[in-house]
A and B are shown apart, each in its own frame.
Chain A
């Protein structure tokens, strides 16, 4: 069964999310049981996503597509051996963290930046970074601006609840310049503020700005400045307190990264089944000892690669050179090729 779902958080659901958060805090028990049991009982994984085509967006058939979405499918393969037993729901940056905390989502794959505040003060755990990003500035070309420090006195759109809201304030404090923020929650209104000229620039994760630039009526009138104001390691986020669920998330992501390092792809994965290399046998589950140890299907890594491909294939297909988006790999390459992707050993 495929469950595809798209829902916008109106203010009503916002209030509901707030109430649920309170109720969860009050009940104290909601997160005592392991997430995996809940997921198995329900039969689907609930994933919170955003709405930037390339990262996450429903296609013309209403089926969610995108880079982050593929990792949700990978998780469904690990847990159910079925890429469709996952339910995607979009939620604004402001609302999704409380929604995750209240158990409305099992995981966020929405480009959440891992920070110390979110770990210690908001109570979240993060899986491995799946996209290394930095905050960027999208400006109207007619302003003739080439770097952030030239934006003294400008009005800048920020999306509420994002790390960008703090980073941009830090940036102007550091440079000693002034700016006026217009803080907007809704991602459509956010984009409209730039298009109508209400703001001189938008600031958000650079990848996100690049993706949303394509949604503008005249994308060529705007330019994404090359400068990066911050480090934004985008990672899967789950509520703190469930180690087992965290490990499942970790090793699902690592499986895609390790496969690329091994050179195992969707096409050639079967040829590796008879590999003499014990590391590869363990990885693909031909040697079942590892899978048994973690209590999952020993062939979960094989299933993921066979269905979705390795990290590089997922990247290329959704946001890389094989897609209309055409992002460079940048830091998002295996460490063996000068990138930052590094899987701990499967042993």
Chain B
């Protein structure tokens, strides 16, 4: 292939431009023209329909309510805040979903390879059933399950402080009031110092006991600081009040159904990924490890998994991306995720294209972030000492 002939920037440009300059140029102009025509048509159509293109509407009052939100939100707030509430709900589902799906999926994958005939068979069935039914159907199933609990007034009430009903699970929550800024600063300083100290010791292993005792002292220090600063802490215990169980921390049935549905669905895929990853490690590795006298658990942890991870991680990334995208099925079971909020936004404001653009950009950003994190992790795995090749 003829490379750039000299160091000149013109040659570099030619190199970048490629081998068919005229064709490239024509295609480039053609693309511009298509975008221009589509753009002006869109704006013209929107004007004819009386819609003002643009994102100005985001500052207007949304006027609709959202069932659950990680930030304070009321119908008088703006569309922008509603969208943020939806986005945070999506992130919460995606994050917790990926973590739990990994834990479950990896366990299942290893269980399937365990010598235990019954266990392996059960996992196989689980994987088959989950992978061969539509996700939407599974979500409807979990939704029905979470709705099958008793009404709030007959809630299952273990220990008198936890409520399990068709309104979800309510558990006591810790609430802090009147915290002076100095207390926050001091506690942050404590935590930072400890983290830094731990970093300095990096390389040396801190055993479980060491870790626990460090955590204990940090917790003690922070609590002391808060206590001395006069901050009020109280535990908010959920209680039946009117129609609903109020107070405490509430996990809604919709969130639970969506989370369980996504986790179960992805765990089946992840189990298969883990299985194929482990099986991709040549049998010779097992044999040589065994001849070194390693125990089976250690063989898995020290020899097999590190090599299997190279196969597993890239596939895992795509599972995470799928889970994130699939979370948009939330609409069907009434969880107010990003898509659900933007559907309503589009419907009530008329800014369909803008709403679609926000959806596309948000998912793209989320997925690129997931890919970036996973790629970094992948590089770390790849660069680890031993290699088969």
Bound pair: A and B? yes
Question: Is A24 part of the binding interface, using a Cβ–Cβ cutoff of 8 Å?
Answer: yes
Contacts of B344 in A (CB 8 A): 94, 160-161, 165, 183
Q: Mark A140-151, 1 if CB is under 8 A from B, else 0.
A: 000100000001
Known contacts A10-B136, A189-B143; decide if A117 and B65 are in contact (CB<8 Å): no
**A293 → chain B, closest Cβ, in Å?**
28
Partner of B67, one of A10, A22, A161, A180: A180
Question: Is B96 part of the binding interface, using a Cβ–Cβ cutoff of 8 Å?
Answer: no
Question: Is A16 part of the binding interface, using a Cβ–Cβ cutoff of 8 Å?
Answer: no
**A24 → chain B, closest Cβ, in Å?**
7
Partner of B65, one of A18, A21, A25, A179: A179
CA distance A134 to B353 in the complex (A): 31
Question: Is B8 part of the binding interface, using a Cβ–Cβ cutoff of 8 Å?
Answer: no
Question: Is B76 part of the binding interface, using a Cβ–Cβ cutoff of 8 Å?
Answer: yes
Question: Is B333 part of the binding interface, using a Cβ–Cβ cutoff of 8 Å?
Answer: yes
Kindly identify, within residues 344 to 374 of chain B, every residue whose CB is under 8 Å from any CB belonging to chain A. Answer: 344, 346-350, 352-353, 356
CA distance A168 to B63 in the complex (A): 10
Known contacts A11-B136, A189-B143; decide if A160 and B353 are in contact (CB<8 Å): no
- Contact of B51 with A123 in the complex, beta carbons under 8 Å: yes
Known contacts A161-B344, A169-B75; decide if A189 and B334 are in contact (CB<8 Å): yes
Partner of A98, one of B44, B167, B352: B352
Contacts of B350 in A (CB 8 A): 117, 121-123
Contacts of B376 in A (CB 8 A): none
**A202 → chain B, closest Cβ, in Å?**
12
Question: Is A193 part of the binding interface, using a Cβ–Cβ cutoff of 8 Å?
Answer: yes
Q: Mark B143-163, 1 if CB is under 8 A from A, else 0.
A: 110011011000000000000
Number of interface residues of B (CB under 8 A): 52
Kindly identify, within residues 279 to 302 of chain B, every residue whose CB is under 8 Å from any CB belonging to chain A. Answer: none
Partner of B331, one of A11, A22, A153, A179: A11
- Contact of A26 with B244 in the complex, beta carbons under 8 Å: no
- Contact of B348 with A28 in the complex, beta carbons under 8 Å: no
List 27 A–B pairs whose Cβ atoms lie within 8 Å, in order of A's numbering.
A11-B332, A18-B356, A22-B352, A25-B46, A29-B41, A101-B49, A117-B348, A121-B350, A123-B48, A153-B242, A154-B242, A154-B243, A160-B340, A160-B347, A165-B64, A165-B344, A169-B63, A170-B75, A172-B65, A181-B66, A182-B334, A183-B340, A186-B332, A189-B143, A196-B148, A196-B166, A240-B50
Top-7 shortest CB links A-B:
A123-B49, A28-B41, A121-B350, A196-B147, A169-B75, A153-B242, A184-B334
Interface residues of A (CB under 8 A from B): 10-11, 18, 21-22, 24-29, 94, 97-98, 101, 117, 120-123, 143, 151-155, 160-161, 165-166, 168-170, 172-173, 179-186, 189, 192-193, 196-198, 200, 240-241
- Beyond A165-B65, A189-B143, A240-B48, 17 additional contacts (C-beta under 8 Å) are A10-B136, A11-B329, A27-B41, A29-B41, A123-B51, A143-B243, A154-B243, A161-B343, A165-B348, A183-B67, A183-B344, A185-B340, A192-B147, A197-B147, A198-B253, A241-B48, A241-B49
